[in-house]
Chain A
């Protein structure tokens, strides 16, 4: 009984904390850029449901490669770091309302080039098809007449709905099921609700690490780059982040953080000069 109470209380408190968080984020504006005296607060907008880039880690804290890298950038620039976890569907509203300064959460720039001011790309990303080991699906062509799952508002989803992407392939599917999160899509794959999942290689690796019996098809669905999206026209802020990123690459911090995330390490595309 006590335990239940304790859990209930902590849930409530977390809720309050979050409420406080967002309020704070909403009330500050980005005008304080680089004014002397007060420290600039950099508001990092991200989705807490996108491991391993940004998620609630095993300790229950906000973490992930993007979160750590952003914190390093802030430290380098002498800014205060402020996390602004948001609902992925509301990212544009959050950004344009000034609740956050950037969208930095495994955010694909391909296809959105004109919608944001983009930083340099810091990670490659490939979209793959994940199937159970005993599946008879061996190539993309085998997906004909199958049910495929994908998470809403992801690059894999966009790719499958893009005429210049894989729309044609999608039209061979029996059905494309759209999930709120990949976790549920993966569960559905496990219980036989779908035959395959279209997913970023990094997210896919993350899922397969904790669940044996699944693999990617050799055929690649598509590839793209992750970068940081700023409000259109905020070139100055973007440039400051770019400079910090490059510096962190040079001093090895970027690599150090990357090593903590073996699922994505091989896709991190920034290398110190002379190591290309």
Chain B
């Protein structure tokens, strides 16, 4: 295999890595919000269920969760999940997305929660006195400030996600790291890993740069 061929193959893997990364973020960032809402729900059973969900998501390896999402229905109900597809997407890929989104939503939810809890009660009281409704208070006053507070923690999580995408190889998703493993094994060469490392580094550099720009855009107030 020539170096350019290898580079092209691995670049295609990087595209799949980025696709998984973006889809996971698009799903988990808003879903995490819903999870916080459930956790803070006054309906206690829902709050407890959410707590259990978060505990499981954070307390077990993501790789295991991916296997459970894919193989679970087969073992529980005897479904031939390998044959499923929804909107032309293999169940394999759907299980992957469910696994990543639910896992990261749990982490994001905890980050949001800590951010929301750190908001001074005076902000809520001022909003209440001025007559804002609950949604107006949350989306107009609380959330923008929470976003600023949690951004550094979210950045950490997002960078971890870039690297965690390599776990997708467990369900044969050919992201850049599993390609590196395959090429390295067949070519008896360490080079593909170095290339993968460079790809990850560049991706995370871009992510860090974007997050920093976001943080900067919110530095106009303390």
A–B interface present (Cβ within 8 A): yes
Task: Report, as a range, how many residues of chain B touch the other chain.
Answer: 20 to 34
Asked whether B205 is an interface residue with its Cβ less than 8 Å from the other chain, the reply is no
Of B70, B71, B83, B182, the residue contacting A153 (CB under 8 A) is B182
Q: Which residue of A has the minimal Cβ distance to B174?
A: A178
Known contacts: A112-B188, A184-B67, A184-B170. The answer to whether A192 contacts B80 by CB under 8 A is yes
B182 touches A191 (CB 8 A): no
Asked whether B92 is an interface residue with its Cβ less than 8 Å from the other chain, the reply is yes
Which B residues are in CB contact (< 8 Å) with A192? 80-83
A193 touches B81 (CB 8 A): yes
Which A residues are in CB contact (< 8 Å) with B185? 88-89, 152-153, 157-158
A187 touches B71 (CB 8 A): yes
B82 touches A191 (CB 8 A): yes
Which A residues are in CB contact (< 8 Å) with B172? 149, 177-179, 188
A193 touches B182 (CB 8 A): no
Which B residues are in CB contact (< 8 Å) with A93? 190
Residues of chain B in range 164-185 having any CB-CB distance to chain A below 8 Å: 169-170, 172, 174, 178, 181-182, 184-185
A161 touches B186 (CB 8 A): yes
Number of A residues, CB within 8 Å of B: 24
Chain B 74-89 against A: per-residue CB contact (8 Å), 1 yes, 0 no?
1000011111000000
Of B67, B82, B178, B189, the residue contacting A193 (CB under 8 A) is B82
How far is B63's CA from A179's CA once the two chains are assembled, in angstroms?
A: 13
B178 touches A178 (CB 8 A): yes
Asked whether A242 is an interface residue with its Cβ less than 8 Å from the other chain, the reply is no
Within the complex, the shortest CB–CB distance from A131 to chain B, in Å, comes to 14
Asked whether A223 is an interface residue with its Cβ less than 8 Å from the other chain, the reply is no
Within the complex, the shortest CB–CB distance from A161 to chain B, in Å, comes to 6
A92 touches B174 (CB 8 A): no
How far is B216's CA from A245's CA once the two chains are assembled, in angstroms?
A: 67
Q: Which residue of A has the minimal Cβ distance to B188?
A: A115
Which B residues are in CB contact (< 8 Å) with A194? 82
Asked whether A180 is an interface residue with its Cβ less than 8 Å from the other chain, the reply is yes
A89 touches B181 (CB 8 A): yes
How far is B172's CA from A188's CA once the two chains are assembled, in angstroms?
A: 10
How far is B172's CA from A151's CA once the two chains are assembled, in angstroms?
A: 10
Q: Which residue of B has the minimal Cβ distance to A93?
A: B190
Which A residues are in CB contact (< 8 Å) with B70? 191, 193
A157 touches B80 (CB 8 A): no
Chain A 192-232 against B: per-residue CB contact (8 Å), 1 yes, 0 no?
11100000000000000000000000000000000000000
Q: Which residue of A has the minimal Cβ distance to B75?
A: A191
Known contacts: A93-B190, A152-B178, A178-B178. The answer to whether A193 contacts B169 by CB under 8 A is no
Residues of chain A in range 144-160 having any CB-CB distance to chain B below 8 Å: 149, 152-153, 157-158
Which A residues are in CB contact (< 8 Å) with B67? 184
19 contacts between A and B (CB under 8 A): A92-B184, A92-B188, A92-B190, A93-B190, A112-B188, A152-B178, A153-B186, A158-B186, A177-B172, A178-B178, A179-B170, A179-B172, A187-B71, A188-B71, A188-B172, A191-B82, A192-B82, A192-B83, A193-B81
Instruction: Given contact pairs A93-B190, A190-B74, A193-B83, enumerate 16 new A-B contacts (beta carbons under 8 Å).
Output: A89-B181, A92-B184, A149-B172, A152-B169, A161-B186, A177-B172, A178-B182, A180-B169, A180-B170, A184-B170, A187-B71, A188-B71, A191-B81, A192-B80, A192-B83, A193-B92
